[in-house]
Amino acid sequence: MVKAVFTTKVTPGYNDLPEARYHFPRTYLNYVRQALGDHIVYYEPRRSSVELSSAGGRQSYFGVARVTAVIEDQMLPDHYYAVVDQYLDFDRPVPFAEGVHYYESALKKPDGSTNKGAFGRAVRQIPDDEFDRILKSGFAPVLNEAPSLPEISAPSLQEPQTPFERPMVEMTVSRPFRERSFMYNVRAAYLNRCAMTGLRLINGGGRPEVQAAHIQPVAAKGPDSVRNGLALSGTVHWMFDRGLISLGDDYKILIAKSHVPEDAASLLNKSGAIYLPKDETLYPNAQFLKFHRDNVFKG
């Protein structure tokens, strides 16, 4: 097994959903198969869509996942899907380079310039130590650490690299860590405001009252992605998890009227719609919303 980097755009040209599947051509089949059973990080390029003139991409690593299967695309010859699980958003996007330091050494030429040929590969293999360094930087806010960068030293003075005692990837699959990271990201996306009531309450210790709710539950294999999350106050979170309220694809609040008393319904936004993140790429995903309506909602 080998770790890898998967490149995906903000607006993919295929039926991609980073939390569940990654589409790629036969060119990368061998690389993806080598990553089967191991973890990958996602990278967002400068181009934000399939248009060559597009821009606006963050040029950053933004999440981690594990490859569980490789299947053929039945609609497009010589194309495949990498099926993934254990997806988790980073708590901060990690630029491919910070200062003179490149997180992937293969992207840097000996003269210090960027290796555009290597950058052009949508699937790239990456050593374990560089993979761990990306994860440590991506989860730095939750780890309460500064981004981890390579040490600066002359090549002749460098000590042999030793394996990490506990790779970061082991931490990212633990439920407590994932819950803490998911809560951090959802709260940040919604500015600590309940999406369905508009309330933004901060306790005496400076901690937000708002909670992070999964749209498709973890028990039903829902990912720990902001696009599968909502910032909700405690009471509304309880109502949402029990299917008393839900959301349409237009982000309008749906109420199971026979189950929700008027005084509880009166807590919800008068507009009938939720407050959304400023970043459209973090809006609730239609696939997860449909799951909640079909399997949880009592309306």
Sign of dihedral through CA atoms 31, 34, 37, 39?
negative
- Closest by CA position to 194, among listed 140, 237, 157: 237
Per-residue confidence (pLDDT) for residue 152, from 0 to 100: 35
DSSP lists the bridge partners of residue 246 as: 254
The answer to whether 223 and 87 have CB atoms below 8 angstroms apart is: yes
Kindly list the strands in the beta sheet with 39-44, ordered across the sheet, starting from the edge strand earlier in the chain: 21-25, 79-95, 60-72, 39-44, 4-7, 123-125
How far is Cα 141 from Cα 87, in angstroms, rounded to an integer? 18
- Closest by CA position to 43, among listed 116, 138, 117, 110: 138
CA 51 to chain CA centroid, Å, is: 23
- Closest by CA position to 283, among listed 204, 230, 219, 209: 230
Q: What share of the chain is helix, strand, coil (3-state, %, to 5)?
A: 30, 25, 45
CATH of domain 4-172: 3.10.590.10
For 281, which DSSP code?
G
How far is Cα 73 from Cα 65, in angstroms, rounded to an integer? 20
Q: 3-18: buried (b, 16+ CB within 10 Å) or exposed (e) per residue?
A: bbbbbbbbeeebebbb
Token code pair at residue 129 = 């130590």
Instruction: Give the alpha-carbon dihedral of 145, 143, 68, 7, to 10 degrees.
Output: -40
How far is Cα 246 from Cα 45, in angstroms, rounded to an integer? 34
Tell me the residue type at 223: P
Q: What spatial distance separates the first Cα and last Cα of the chain, rounded to whole Å?
A: 46
- What are the extents of the domains in the chain? 4-172, 175-295
Cβ neighbours, 10 Å, residue 49: 15
Token code pair at residue 33 = 């198969």
pLDDT, one tens digit for every residue, the chain (299 residues): 899 999 997 666 667 899 999 999 999 999 999 999 999 999 998 755 545 444 567 889 999 999 999 999 999 999 999 999 999 999 999 999 988 889 999 999 999 888 988 888 999 999 999 999 999 999 999 988 555 554 433 333 344 444 444 578 888 889 999 999 999 999 999 999 999 999 998 887 778 899 999 999 999 999 999 999 999 999 999 999 999 999 999 999 999 988 888 888 899 999 999 999 999 989 999 999 999 999 999 98
The answer to whether 196 and 217 have CB atoms below 8 angstroms apart is: no
